[in-house]
């Protein structure tokens, strides 16, 4: 059952990244790539009807991880508690600003101020997502009582002193940031047409090239700091299909300007997110976080103080199914009209 619940948590957080990723990515695009009032309106209309339907996956992940893997939840909050609270605060502020942005859309000055705040909050959310996952992939010392530093004092690959910001987390965070931003741009392209789409496709193409370079650097750096990191792949070679499909999707994004229609960018970015997530989960399993010391945090030692939970709380699985149905209905019937 440990494997089942580990998989459920992976699916929940992966679904959140996939669904809220294009919302947050589109919000960042509002800040950097929507240069005119018309383009800004197109971005807002693209996400206005479904943007608030995705956080339920995050809440489900937090609740289930605390219930079934309490040691994992404790490690997360011990190391990232302040950042997680800031993330939740920015989510709440984003909700408020987005609603105000729709209320005062006919007041240009106020709309501009709210628009920049909205873009900034999405930018910070994406930064937090990128850096938290970068730290999980870099690893932590579970047996140490020392708190994770904000910035590594020795900003060097040869240093054993780690921080929320260090050389590896900035490299890895940049890769995650660009990948999710591409996903958001793909969603805007899906919901629009015309000159704005041609502009965004050009940006997607450039970012896809940059992402491929960052992935190469990330893989080299990951192997340097942890030479056995790809053990699962060599033990089970069929897992290579996931990174191969992820790279194929990314290469497809490099030629996005030559494809007819407006749905290819979002389809390819969705495939890229899914297969990249499966690739990373294949590396991590059975760990929740890469261990830097001798102690490990796996699906088999992170909780389960009461095994009977798995048999008396199957209602949670039913709740998960209802959650999936809810998300499908929301995205099917509230996806809004295509902007022209």
Spell out the domain ranges in the chain. 2-333
pLDDT attached to residue 30: 93
The tens digit of pLDDT for each residue in 234-257 reads: 999 999 999 999 999 999 999 999
pTM to 2 decimals? 0.88
Distances (CA, A) of 292 to 276, 289, 296: 23, 9, 8
Query: 243, 279 in Cβ contact below 8 A?
Result: yes
- Dump pLDDT digits (tens) for 130-187: 999 999 999 988 876 666 788 877 676 666 678 889 899 999 999 999 999 999 999 9
Identify the three-state secondary structure at position 143: coil
More confident residue, 193 or 338: 193
CA–CA distance, 148 with 163 (Å, rounded to integer): 6
Residue 271 has pLDDT above 60, yes or no: yes
Helix axis angle for 167-191 and 195-225, nearest 10°, is 150
Bridging pattern class, strands 163-165 and 149-151: parallel
Share of the chain above pLDDT 70, in %: 84
Place of tokens 């992939």: 137
| Cα 158 → chain centroid | 28
Element (H, E) at 150: strand 149-151
């Amino acid at each position: 059952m440990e494997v089942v619940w580990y998989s459920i948590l992976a699916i929940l957080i992966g679904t959140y990244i996939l669904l809220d990723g294009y919302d947050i990515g589109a919000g960042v695009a509002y800040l950097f790539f929507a240069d005119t009032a018309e383009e800004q309106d197109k971005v807002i209309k693209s996400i206005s009807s479904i943007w608030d339907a995705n956080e339920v996956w995050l809440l489900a992940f937090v609740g289930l991880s605390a219930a079934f893997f309490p040691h994992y939840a404790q490690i997360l909050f011990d190391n990232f508690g302040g950042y997680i609270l800031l993330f939740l605060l920015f989510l709440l502020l984003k909700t408020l600003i987005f609603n105000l942005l729709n209320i005062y859309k006919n007041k240009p000055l106020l709309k501009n101020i709210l628009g920049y705040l909205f873009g900034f909050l999405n930018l910070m959310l994406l930064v937090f997502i990128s850096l938290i996952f970068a730290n999980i992939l870099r690893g932590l010392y579970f047996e140490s009582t020392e708190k994770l530093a904000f910035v590594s004092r020795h900003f060097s690959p040869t240093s054993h002193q780690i921080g929320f910001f260090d050389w590896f987390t900035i490299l890895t965070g940049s890769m995650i940031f660009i990948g999710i931003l591409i996903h958001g741009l793909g969603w805007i392209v899906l919901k629009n047409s015309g000159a704005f789409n041609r502009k965004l496709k050009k940006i997607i193409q450039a970012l896809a090239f940059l992402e491929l370079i960052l992935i190469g650097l990330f893989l080299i750096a990951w192997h340097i700091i942890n030479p056995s990191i790809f053990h699962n792949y060599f033990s089970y070679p069929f897992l290579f299909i996931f990174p191969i499909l992820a790279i194929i999707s990314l290469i497809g994004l490099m030629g996005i300007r030559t494809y007819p229609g407006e749905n290819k960018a979002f389809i390819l970015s969705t495939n890229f997110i899914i297969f990249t997530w499966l690739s990373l989960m294949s590396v991590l399993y059975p760990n929740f976080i890469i261990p830097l010391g001798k102690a490990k945090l796996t699906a088999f030692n992170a909780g389960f103080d009461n095994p009977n939970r798995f048999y008396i709380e199957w209602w949670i699985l039913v709740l998960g199914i209802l959650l999936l149905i809810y998300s499908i209905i929301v995205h099917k019937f509230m996806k809004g009209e295509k902007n022209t």
